[in-house]
A and B are shown apart, each in its own frame.
Chain A
Amino acid sequence: MTALLETPLLETRGVWQRFGGLVANSDVSISVGRGEIVGLIGPNGAGKSTLFNLIAGVLPPTQGSIIFDGEDVTRLPAAERCQRGVGRTFQVVKSFETMTVIDNVIVGALIRNTKMRIARQKAYEVLEFCGLAARAEKLAADLVPSEKRRLEVARALATEPKLLLLDEVLTGLTPVEAQTGVDLVRKVRATGVTVLMVEHVMEIVMPLVDRAIVLNLGKVLVEGKPADVVRNPEVISAYLGDRHAVGA
């Protein structure tokens, strides 16, 4: 109940993003409460990644505003948003390939700790938390794909974010790896970090999230509890086409 009284951690207000003639996001207003795990889902081309990048600060929206932790961050660049507490991963992993795993994480830790010794210690703790401690001295380039995904999460966590943005971290993993990922996200939330995750595959995220927001054709189609969202005829139609929605 208290969560409802507090201001949300993240809000987008009437956000539009146009790329030339293409409207990627039109009038998107969503909010993410403190301590929530929210799934941002939708079929290919729905505008999930665009919205994600707007929140992370990769580019400013054409119109509308983004409020984070009570402050308007619409025009702030990505590095500045990280400073304020927005951590992110990339859909196509972007490890620092020539650096070791621990050094990758140290880069993230340095934003909160200027002393190298402390940053290194912090990075080790995060690696342990993410189950990568045994790989600490390996080159990032030598990790297997699922480990690289976890490294992205570890790197972002080392910046001590209030909001963690996960871009398809569970997609393309084996069921066992995906389960490990799901457990990690739960563990992250347990430490008080709010999570907004973009996922393409519904069955992986639905059991994990508290709330799901479905985007379609750049607009918010539905939002609500996962169980309600998956039964919603509009969602089924967006994913599978109109024929399947009739039966529901």
Chain B
Amino acid sequence: MDTQFAQRRRRDLIVAGCFAVIAALVPLFVKDVYVQNIMVLTLMYAALSQSWNILSGYCGQISLGHALYFGLGAYTTALLFTKFGVLPWFGMLAGGAISAVIAMALGYPCFRLRGHYFVIATIVIAEIALVLIQNWDWAGAALGIDIPVRGDSWLKFQFARSKLPYFYFALALACVAWLVTWWLEDSKWGYWWRAVKDNPDAAESLGVVVFNSKMGAAAVSAFLVAVGGSFYAQFVSYIDPESVMGFQFSLLMALPAVLGGIGTLWGPVLGAVILIPLTELTRSFIGGSGRGVDLIVYGTLIVVISLALPRGLVSVFSWRKEAAR
């Protein structure tokens, strides 16, 4: 009786595996550094959006302040490395852990807020953090931190000559974020989160401790986003407050999931694959004129997709499935 369900989950896993293998093979044919750069960013945003989706999509707590966790990850890694010589791999874990703790500390007061008030709180908190970092001299204040690059090294996770190691790490990160979501979807937490999103009162009456569920979602989500931030710091090797904690990162994490299908397994991936190359391509080909044509094209596309497919791009596929039945 649960074979249909189990089949669907197995099929998702196989499809994801195929995509991962295909993606891993792409750099063999695409040698252009500019295109590789776009691929790295696409995979990174797929991972970030997937992580954002855990708290905001599944658990329904819309956060527009996730740039905070992205920045925390980037800064923790960069500071630990430049000040104490701690390897970025440990910095990544430390950044993730710090972000998870901070997410819960902030969740403690904020999860009592509902709907729009919660969203506003997340924006404000991220902006406050941005201002604090901008004025923190030890952490480089507004100038930021330059991570010294001395040759290619997996140990120090820095590569000057090739983008490929970053590409494979970003691919692995996207796979991990996807797998975590896939696994959570059929777990106690996954069910609780969806219940909390749909109706917190009913969830509470069925024994779900709503507050703890939100805290759990926030911690997982923040941890993964911070790892993404750590990766980004290594990838660009120079960070400043605005470039890792700016509001645009919060939006860029939310948009792929929202366009692709919020609260779905495939939405963030689909959204990132379409949105991120589009952002980069419009910027390089029609941007730069100072007239903002790229942003007009970009914005128009978002409006068109949201109007035509309010439940996200994934709804195209589910519509087909229903028609076939």
Residues of A within 8 A of B (CB): 56, 58, 77-79, 82-83, 87-88, 90, 94-99, 103, 106-108, 110-111, 114, 116-117, 120-121, 124, 137, 155-156, 158-159
Contacts and interface: CB of A to CB of B under 8 A. Distances in A.
A75 B257 CA distance: 40
B276 to A, nearest CB: 27
A107 B205 contact: no
Give the interface centre of B5, B187, B204, B210 by most chain A CB atoms within 10 Å.
B204
B160 interface: no
A79 B195 CA distance: 13
A121 B5 CA distance: 12
A202 B112 CA distance: 40
B201 A107 contact: no
Contacts of B210: 79
A87 B203 CA distance: 12
Contact of B202 (A94, A110, A137): A94
A79 B191 contact: no
10 contacts: A79-B206, A82-B205, A87-B205, A95-B202, A106-B191, A114-B188, A116-B188, A117-B2, A120-B5, A159-B206
A161 to B, nearest CB: 10
A124 B1 CA distance: 9
Interface string B1-30: 110110000000000000000000000000
Given A96-B194, A108-B207, 15 more contacts: A77-B209, A78-B205, A82-B204, A82-B207, A90-B202, A95-B199, A95-B202, A96-B202, A96-B203, A98-B198, A99-B198, A103-B194, A107-B208, A111-B207, A111-B208
Contacts, number: 82
A88 B194 contact: no
A90 B204 CA distance: 12
B263 interface: yes
Interface residues of B, number: 25
Contacts of A111: 206-208
A94 B199 contact: yes
